[in-house]
Amino acid sequence: MSSDQFLRTSRLIGESNVEALHKKRVLIVGLGAVGSMCLESLARSGVGFFKIVDFDVIGVTNINRQIIATWDTLEKDKVEVAKQRILSINPKCKVETVKDFFSEENADSLIDDSFDLVIDAIDSLNPKCALLAYCYNHNIKIISSMGAALKREPTLVQSADLFDTFGCALAKLVRKRLRNRGVGRGIKVVFSSEQTRFEHKDPQNEENKDANEQILDKGRTRGVLGSLVTLTGIFALNLAHLALKELLDNDEFEGIAAVNPKERYLK
């Protein structure tokens, strides 16, 4: 891969880390606002292989927040648009696409132990829990994004072990379901502790019948939740940075930020 393309990255984290990223294999499930921007961030960082999974096509209501969504990409498969975008960023990157839902039924065909990291950016509860449980039970490293919709305050976005999260309704539901499956600590997630205001609206009564937003979740339509690109982008970049930390996992990447601030200034 072009050394000049990744010069700024290598100057910060070292050439050895950039070379290591070129050899990493990452699976990303879900290419919505968080998943697609996380994917692009990792491609720009030098990750050399991606397998991307999403069943959906791009709709007009995606344009407000999804980096792959433009008027030119409407009605196109998200996985194919994302692949072309990644190859335009790094032509030497390898990208495998799967247009499908993730489910317990197809988990074995989508995931194997060759992946250095799995990234969960699914926005539906059942498949999200299925993916997290599968990776946990098969000792496959996975990180996850909790709910970015309905959030307004960027300073409350943070990362933690799933079982240390607070204030996030989605994380609470996921924890409960995973605990019932025998899943314990060890899954790092990005979440927001912001308390949200949500007014339920029946999907059948939505004025906008954009099929992209009224997707079927195992036979049930889901309502449209408000979201801002500023918040979904912050979730995505936090998730991508967490991914880099998990992929590299060394002191050279962590740098001075890994030192306790008080200890640093008391020296």
Domain edges within the chain: 14-199+227-266
Which 3 state secondary structure label does DSSP give 25?
strand
Measured in degrees and rounded to the nearest 5, phi and psi for residue 51 equal: -115, 125
Q: What is the pLDDT of residue 211?
A: 45
Q: What is the pLDDT of residue 257?
A: 55
Other beta carbons within 10 angstroms of residue 43's beta carbon come to 22
Q: What is the largest CA-CA distance in the chain?
A: 62
Architecture of domain 14-199+227-266: 3-Layer(aba) Sandwich (3.40)
Q: What is the pLDDT of residue 249?
A: 85
| Helices and strands counted in the chain (H then E) | 10, 9
Dist. CA 233–CA 107, nearest whole Å: 28
What DSSP string describes 139-158?
T--EEEE---TT---GGGEE
Report how far Cα 31 is from the mean position of its chain's Cα atoms.
8
Report how far Cα 103 is from the mean position of its chain's Cα atoms.
17
Q: What is the pLDDT of residue 200?
A: 44
What is the chain's pLDDT, residue by residue, as a tens digit (267 residues)?
777 999 999 999 999 999 999 999 999 999 999 999 999 999 999 999 999 999 999 999 999 999 999 999 999 999 999 999 999 999 999 999 999 999 999 999 999 999 999 999 999 999 999 999 999 999 999 999 999 998 999 999 999 999 999 999 999 999 999 999 999 999 999 999 998 865 544 444 545 545 444 444 444 455 678 999 999 999 999 999 999 999 998 776 776 555 565 565 555
